[in-house]
Amino acid sequence: MRIDGLQYANWSEKIFRQLREGGVDAIHVTISYHENFRETVLNFEKWNRWFEQYPDLIMKGQWASDIDVARETGRTAVFFGFQNPSPIEDDIGLVEIVHTLGARFMQLTYNNQSLLATGCYEAEDMGITRMGKQVIKEMNRVGLVVDMSHSADRSTIEAAELSERPIAITHANPHEWSPALRNKKDNVIRAVTENGGMLGFSVYPHHLKDKSDCTLESFCEMIARTADKYGVEHLGIGTDLCQDQPDSIVEWMRVGRWTKEIDYGEGSKSAPGFPPMPSWFEDNRHFGNIEMGLRDIGLSADEVAGIMGGNWYRFFAENFGPQAGR
C-alpha cells in the first residue's frame, strides 16, 4: 500500500496516470491555501469534474475504506485538505460543513499568525488562540485532522496536547537533519508522536539536506533514525510534490493576499520559484525508489510497509470519522 500524506500538483490526466503507474493508492491533496469558503467550494467542484472525467484513474476519498475500494478497482483515492484555516473564515460552524464536503485535514496556520495559532515564520509564537482551542475541539468532534506542518513550535506542541485526537505534521522533516525554518525540532516531533500523531517526510528540496542534491540514502537513513527515536508506527511519506506548477504558484502560496511584497521564504533572495526535485523522486512513478531505499538501509518489510502507507491508513481509519460519543 502506498499513501502520500500531501501533494499540491498541477493536476492533469498525465499526473493521474503517473499515480497509477507508481502504485499510489491514496493521496492527500491541498485544495486551499488562502481561499475563503466560497472559493474553496469551487475547488471541491473542480475535483468533482475530474472524478467524472477520469473515473478509471481517481475517486473521491472520505474514509479509509475508500482506499480499499481504490485498490480493488485500480484507482487512487483522493483526500482533501487545507494548508490554512481560511476556508472556515471566522465561523466555527463551517468546520462541520467543510468536513461534510470532504475535507479531512486542516492546517491551523500557513507560515503566518492566523486566528487559530502562530505560523513558523513569525518572530513571536503566542501558541493556540482562544478561537484555536474551540476549533480544535470542533475538529476533533467531526473528524477533521489538525495539521501543524507550517506552524511554530509552541503552537504545534500545544495543539498536540490540547487535541483529544492525534494530530499530524503531514509534510516536514527533522530540523536536526536539515535546519530549514519549517522542519521540526525534537520536542515538537516528540509532542506529536507521543500523543499518537503522524509525521510525513517531505521530499520538497528546501526541506532536504543538501536540497536538490540530497541522496536517496541520506533521506532513508534520516527516516530510519527518526523511527528509532519516535517509533516507526508514527511515520509516513508526505512528499509535498508540486509537480508541473508554474513558479507563479510559489508566490501565491507565500504571499496570498496579505502583502504587496514578495515573501522569499526559505529560498534565495530572488523571485520565488520551484527548485529541481532530487533525481530519485521527480514524480509519482518514483515511490518505488523510496521503498527500495528503505529496504536497502535495513528496515524490515513490515516497517517499510508501514512507512509507505500502512501507518497513514490506520491513522485515516481512526481519525476521519466523528469522535466516539460526540
Its domain, for residue 291, covers 3-319
pLDDT tens digit string along 257-292?
888 887 766 655 555 678 899 999 999 999 999 999
Tell me how many domains the chain contains: 1
Q: Is 244 left (phi over 0), alpha (psi -120 to 50) or beta?
A: left
C-alpha cell belonging to residue 16 = 493521474
Q: Which residues contact 88 (CB under 8 A, 6 or more apart)?
A: 37, 94, 95, 98, 106, 135
Instruction: For residue 326, tell me if it sits in a domain.
Output: no
- Summarize the confidence of residues 69-94 as an average pLDDT: 98
Q: Say how far apart CA 80 and CA 1 lie, in whole Å.
A: 19
Listed residue (246, 253, 243, 248) closest to 271, CA to CA: 248
Sign of the CA dihedral running 174, 177, 182, 188: positive
pLDDT tens digit string along 90-117?
999 999 999 999 999 999 999 999 999 9
CATH number of the domain that residue 145 is part of? 3.20.20.140
Residue 197: half-sphere exposure toward Cβ, Cα within 13 Å: 31
Instruction: For residue 324, tell me if it sits in a domain.
Output: no
